[in-house]
Amino acid sequence: MSKILVTGGAGFIGAHLVKELLARGDEVVIVDDFNNRYDPKLKEARVSELLPDFPTDVLIREDVSDAEAMAKVFANHKFDAVVHLAAWAAVQRSIDEPLTYSNANINGTIVMLEEARKHNVKNFVFASSSSVYGGREEMPLSETDDVSKPISPYAATKVAGEALCATWNYLYDLPISAVRFFTVYGPWGRPEMALFKFTEAIEEGRTIEMRGSETKRDFTFIDDIVQGLLGAIDNPPAGYEIYNLGNQDAVPLPRFIKAIEAALDKKATITDVPLPPGDVPQTLADISKAKERLGYKPTTSIEEGVKKFVSWYQDWYLPNFRK
Ligand SMILES: NC(=O)c1ccc[n+]([C@@H]2O[C@H](COP(=O)([O-])OP(=O)(O)OC[C@H]3O[C@@H](n4cnc5c(N)ncnc54)[C@H](O)[C@@H]3O)[C@@H](O)[C@H]2O)c1
């Protein structure tokens, strides 16, 4: 049994991860500030529904960039591993509020790395993103590719986070895995993500905006991401390593929309709009490194995963959240 700090544990990926960690007998402390980037009621609901018995004294409602508050957390607990997921996600909003993003994503990461090295933590996992690859056109995207040209402030904060991880590993020998998630989706997902917005709009009979009919995304189902994260937690590297966690299937938007239509049994009305600045045209992960070193093995097709999301949306979200 390990004692694991999960920052962002009330978030989409975090809550699913904590559920699995508890199920296998690990002890978990959560730090999450329940900020209002999207409806905090959904974060509260993830905790009450996915983690119903989670003890309130280790559900710490603080900001990861608050150095004093984080020093207290590390003084009160001896962690075997830190999984740092807390961040402001979403590309478009980062263009409007770059400073909010840099504070949470860059300063917050420095605070966590500092506390981890001061307390001699032997295992640090950092949530990075496929967005670090920027507008790169050659596919698949591999961990050794250049990431020096991010195209949104959000992506730039993730490139910075990785650079900080490399630095803390160099200075203090802190073992760190940076995991680059590729468009994660599934039940309890974030309301501003395409799957959520498209499902809502189709269900309500509104027109959906298809941002670039040529756009392709390597959508990765939440259960597969959690399996990859557990692999990273269980296999701390000797130094600093980066892993792509994708599904190795570049899904064109029309196929994605078809999967939602099939799951809802309802036709979409679609209008084509150009890809907005900041959004990357395509992603496709080379996952051979994570397969080999972490035992990562994604198994969920977009059609199956969308069906599971839509079932959750109809059975839980609509009855509880529809205004
Ligand atoms: N979902 C994806 O497709 C995806 C893709 C690539 C990378 N990521 C990264 O994975 C991580 C988790 O993403 P998610 O989709 O679960 O997003 P999310 O927004 O649902 O979860 C993030 C959680 O962190 C918390 N948080 C944010 N800033 C904080 C701060 N300063 N202090 C304390 N808590 C804070 C939020 O309240 C939220 O509960 C993020 O780092 C994100 O950038 C996600």
Ligand 1, atom 38: nearest CA belongs to which residue?
11
Ligand 1, atom 37: nearest CA belongs to which residue?
34
CA 14 / ligand 1 centre spacing (Å): 8
3-190+219-248+282-299: CATH number: 3.40.50.720
pLDDT per residue of the chain (323 residues) written in tens, 0 to 9:
899 999 999 999 999 999 999 999 999 999 999 999 999 999 999 999 999 999 999 999 999 999 999 999 999 999 999 999 999 999 999 999 999 999 999 999 999 999 999 999 999 999 999 999 999 999 999 999 999 999 999 999 999 999 999 999 999 999 999 999 999 999 999 999 999 999 999 999 999 999 888 899 999 999 999 999 999 999 999 999 999 999 999 999 999 999 999 999 999 999 999 999 999 999 999 999 999 999 999 999 999 999 999 999 999 999 998 76
Catalytic pick among 38, 101, 133, 154: 154
Which value, in Å, is the radius of gyration of the alpha carbons in the chain? 19
What are the domain boundaries of the chain?
A: 3-190+219-248+282-299
Distance of CA 222 to the CA centre of its chain: 9
Residue 250 near residue 217, CB atoms below 8 Å: yes
Tokens of 218: 């390597």
Would you call 243 a catalytic residue per the annotation?
Answer: no
276 Ramachandran zone, left/alpha/beta (phi>0; psi -120 to 50): beta
Tokens of 100: 């909010």
Model pTM above 0.85: yes
